[in-house]
Structure 1
Amino acid sequence: MKNMFITRNLDEFLKTHGCEFLKELIACMQERVEVSVEEFQVWRLKRKHKNKYILILDDGNYNKIKTLVVTIPNCSVNKLKLYFENDTLTFPNER
């Protein structure tokens, strides 16, 4: 798994809302060539039904790179947008 930094605010948010799995998933996805070649990544999480989510990776211009269906049992958010740039995962307003 690739080393990844995460801002303190985002880390606390993910812990508080039961979404820590996202950190691990995004870090693991960096090992895929189609993901790692993107210098700037936008990750969008959207609840579909109960604990089922769609996680979409795009290049910041809404060009989809990857779409995943994930189960996150204790996640309390309905949607979330994150940026990954320079090995750092952040909220958009922390960039």
Structure 2
Amino acid sequence: MEKAQFYITSGLQRFLIDQNSTILMRAIVKLQELEVIKREEFQVWRIKRKHKSKFTIVLDDGNYNKIFWSTIELPGCNANKMKFYFENSVLCFPRER
């Protein structure tokens, strides 16, 4: 089976590097292997700080129908909230779509 290609916009990649949060990018790409996530053509990823370096990560279909959620540790991340779209194998900011 051929491995799928994934892309990230340069603006989002710079932001995640600046925020010390490249682990988040890798986590979202890795989660694409889950069948329940892979089936969703348009994905909205919402990340929100819960406490210090712990964040909630929620995936929905763009209509707030939750598909997946988890917590993730992002030490050194300065952002409190983030939102990304994943569509056509590209992870981007909503304004880059």
Could you tell me the TM-score, scaled by structure 1's length? 0.97
Q: How far does the alpha carbon of each residue in 1:46-76 deviate from its partner, in whole angstroms, 9 at most, with x for none?
A: 0000000000000000000001111111111
SS at match of 1:75: coil
Report the RMSD for the aligned CA atoms in angstroms.
1.0
Equivalenced residues, count? 95
**Match in the other structure for 2:83:** 81
SS in 1 for 2:20: coil
Identical residues among aligned pairs (%): 47
Structure 1 stretches of 4+ moved >6 Å: none
Q: Secondary structure at the match of 1:25?
A: helix
Residue 61, structure 1, aligned to residue 66, structure 2? no
Q: Is the 8 A contact 1:42 1:58 kept in 2?
A: yes
Aligned residue in 1 for 2:40: 38
Q: Distance in 1 between matches of 2:23 and 2:61?
A: 22
Distance 2:4 2:66 in 1: 22
Q: Which amino acid aligns with 1:25?
A: A
Q: What's the CA shift for 1:2?
A: 4.3
Q: Is the 8 A contact 1:56 1:66 kept in 2?
A: yes
Distance 2:5 2:28 in 1: 11
TM-score with structure 2 length normalisation?
A: 0.95
* Aligned pair partner of 1:20 in 19, 22, 43: 22
Correspondence for 1:47: 49
Q: How many Å apart are 1:14 and its aligned residue? A: 0.4
Rate the CA distance shift 1:72–1:36 in 2: closer, same or farther, 3 A: same
Q: State the partner residue of 1:91.
A: 93
